[in-house]
Amino acid sequence: MGSDRQRGTRRGWRRRGRFMAGALVGVMTAAGVTGAALAAPVYRHIDAQGNVVYSDRPSGGQRVELAPISVVDPQEPAEGAAGAAVTPRKTPASEAAAAYSRFEILSPADGTTLPTGRAGDVQVRLAIQPPLASSDRVQLRVDGEVRQSPMRTQVFAVSGLDRGEHQLLAEIVDDQGTVQLATPPVTLYVQRASVNLPANPNRPAHANRADGSN
């Protein structure tokens, strides 16, 4: 009977010891103890009342091996993680687009037909608001090819366009030549003199007959 009581008491001490060991680790972790502090030895003692006590003093105690605890600093949520807000990153081009509230071709208007008498010459006017930044320039493309090199202007003179359909497009470029922003394209139709048309279609036909010209 007495031995059963002693065994029960020992089992109780062991359970209490395991509980206190877990509590000790939990308290040390909650208090933000670093890995260096956890590296110090911990000893298990039993006092005169049979209670299990832990301390850093070896005096007759049994050393307890504690599992290492990893302390991870909180970090920003990964991009695309569930529930995490992902902020779009602005590129230089998107920043330039935000800097200009208006950038378009004012004239000629989209779908304009350039008559024969203009001989394929047209003036392209731009609307740029606010004014160009000091490091920005504007270039003009005709049918996808740069027709006017980058310059600080809002007016381009284009001459000698062939008969047919052409597409005009202006671009803002930075000091490295990188395109920052482009206007919506404008389609232009050009009429030119041909063998099937008189040399000067704007001149009355009877005037041509009077002087013998064709």
pLDDT at 33: 46
Whether 129 is in a domain gets the answer: yes
What residue type is 85 in one-letter code? A
Q: 102 and 52, same structural domain?
A: no
Q: 123 and 170, same structural domain?
A: yes
Q: 101 and 25, same structural domain?
A: no
What residue type is 98 in one-letter code? A
Q: 96 and 181, same structural domain?
A: yes
Which DSSP letter does residue 59 get? T
Report how many domains make up the chain: 2
Q: Average pLDDT of each block of 10 consecutive residues along the chain (214 residues)?
A: 51 52 50 50 78 76 71 59 55 69 95 90 94 93 92 93 94 92 95 64 48 46
Choosing from 64, 83, 100, the residue where a domain stops is 64
pLDDT at 73: 63
Q: 189 and 97, same structural domain?
A: yes
Whether 51 is in a domain gets the answer: yes
Whether 87 is in a domain gets the answer: no
Whether 7 is in a domain gets the answer: yes
CA atoms of 144 and 185, how far apart (whole Å) = 10
- 92 Cβ contact list (under 8 Å, min separation 6): 174, 178, 180
Q: 115 and 59, same structural domain?
A: no
Q: 109 and 38, same structural domain?
A: no
For residue 129, give the CATH number of its domain.
Answer: 2.60.40.10
Q: 139 and 101, same structural domain?
A: yes
Cβ proximity of 156 and 142 under 8 Å: no
Q: 104 and 16, same structural domain?
A: no
Q: 96 and 187, same structural domain?
A: yes
pLDDT at 50: 78
Nearest to 177 by CA among 144, 151, 206: 151
Whether 101 is in a domain gets the answer: yes
Structural domain boundaries enclosing 43: 2-64
CA atoms of 160 and 174, how far apart (whole Å) = 29
Whether 76 is in a domain gets the answer: no
Q: 99 and 56, same structural domain?
A: no
Cβ proximity of 125 and 202 under 8 Å: no
Whether 205 is in a domain gets the answer: no
Per-residue HEC secondary structure of 158-195 comes to: ECCCCCEEEEEEEEEECCCCCEEEECCCEEEEECCCCC
Whether 79 is in a domain gets the answer: no
pLDDT at 118: 86
Q: Which two tokens stand for residue 157?
A: 């003179």
Q: 105 and 160, same structural domain?
A: yes
130 upstream amide cis, omega within 30 of 0: yes
Q: Which two tokens stand for residue 26?
A: 């939990």
Q: Decide: pTM greater than 0.75.
A: no
